[in-house]
Amino acid sequence: MNMNLIEKIKKLNIGEIIENADLKKYTTYHVGGHALAVVLPDDIYGLIELIKLLKKEKVKYKVIGRGSNLIFKSGLYNGILIKLDHFDSLKIEGNEITVGAGFQLIKLATRLSRLGYTGIEFATGIPGTVGGAIFMNAGAYKSDMGYIVKSVKVLTPDLRVEELTNYDLDFHYRTSFLHQHRDYICLEATIILKRGDADLIMQLVEDRKKRRLETQPLEYPTAGSVFRNPDGDYAGRLIEEIGYKGHVQGGAMVSTKHANFVINYNNATGEDIEKLILEIKKRIKEKYDIDLKIEQEFVE
């Protein structure tokens, strides 16, 4: 059935197909086994045709960005991964910027900051795509996507293209309407920024970059913060308090630079990382009765 499915996808002629895809290449943790295929549709029409086929064939699928919050197991992901890399248009009109969901967030934030736009500096260190960032309501430095997104073009569960406003998107700390309704797919976003002094903006960006390199384990495969900060506290502090800074599980380790980061320091598997994360969550709950929320996703 699998090869038959791949042949059917090929016949659609909708874009690039990578068969038996190595998932290590599609996650920032560099973990996972293989997927039946990764498909990169050329446009919205191709995406709709692909999903119609997958629904008809009753095959599971998942839309992914840069995999910066995903943990795949070592075996087969018995489904199709869809990447929107070709949804990478960028249109700048005054203070309004329209950008495809597949555009890399760091690239977008850096380009706009250099052009003297302010409001998106917080995103210059966040790996992932625009679509993924809106889905998660990614943020840093007391700002997030909810502050700058005006509206988003989505593909609905019944495969219609609709526009959702900022209000519709229901942005909250590290979540959004899209996070709660995963059968909607972000296609394109319109953001609003202000103009500022490009030199001052880039000085701030460079200062923050320097600080990130000093305080985060960016030399290792990682997926950023593992847990959301609980109200009035920091997940990293709690993890240090239970003595887990530097704690090892298989090839995974709690970073010695920042305890809310787990790193793939020695050929870790997704299982290693998942076990370590769940162990930390359990210990924190036992010691402090705090139920830490995991920002990362264990993909089945």
Contacts of 8 by beta carbon, 8 Å cutoff, 6+ apart: 53, 57
Tens digit of each residue's pLDDT (9 = 90 or more) over 56-97: 999 999 999 999 999 999 999 999 999 999 999 999 999 999
Question: Active-site positions?
Answer: 174, 225, 295
Contacts of 236 by beta carbon, 8 Å cutoff, 6+ apart: 258, 259, 260
Sketch out the chain's domains with CATH numbers: 2-83 (3.30.43.10), 90-199 (3.30.465.10), 218-295 (3.90.78.10)
pLDDT at residue 110 above 80? yes
Residues in the chain: 300
Tens digit of each residue's pLDDT (9 = 90 or more) over 242-289: 999 999 999 999 999 999 999 999 999 999 999 999 999 999 999 999
Report the pLDDT value the prediction gives residue 160, as an integer from 0 to 100.
Answer: 98
pLDDT band with cut points at 50, 70 and 90 for residue 2: low
Sequence-ordered strand ranges (E) for 132-209: 139-140, 143-144, 149-155, 161-165, 185-192, 194-195
Report the pLDDT value the prediction gives residue 136, as an integer from 0 to 100.
Answer: 95
Q: Beta 297-299 vs 70-72: how paired, if at all?
A: parallel
pLDDT at residue 49 above 90? yes
Give the other-Cβ count within 10 Å of 165's Cβ: 11
Tens digit of each residue's pLDDT (9 = 90 or more) over 27-44: 999 999 999 999 999 999
pLDDT at residue 3 above 90? no
Mean pLDDT rounded to a whole number for the chain: 97
Q: For a pLDDT cut of 90, what percent of the chain falls above it? A: 98
Tens digit of each residue's pLDDT (9 = 90 or more) over 128-137: 999 999 999 9
Q: Between 2-12 and 44-56, two packed helices, what is the crossing angle to 10 degrees?
A: 150
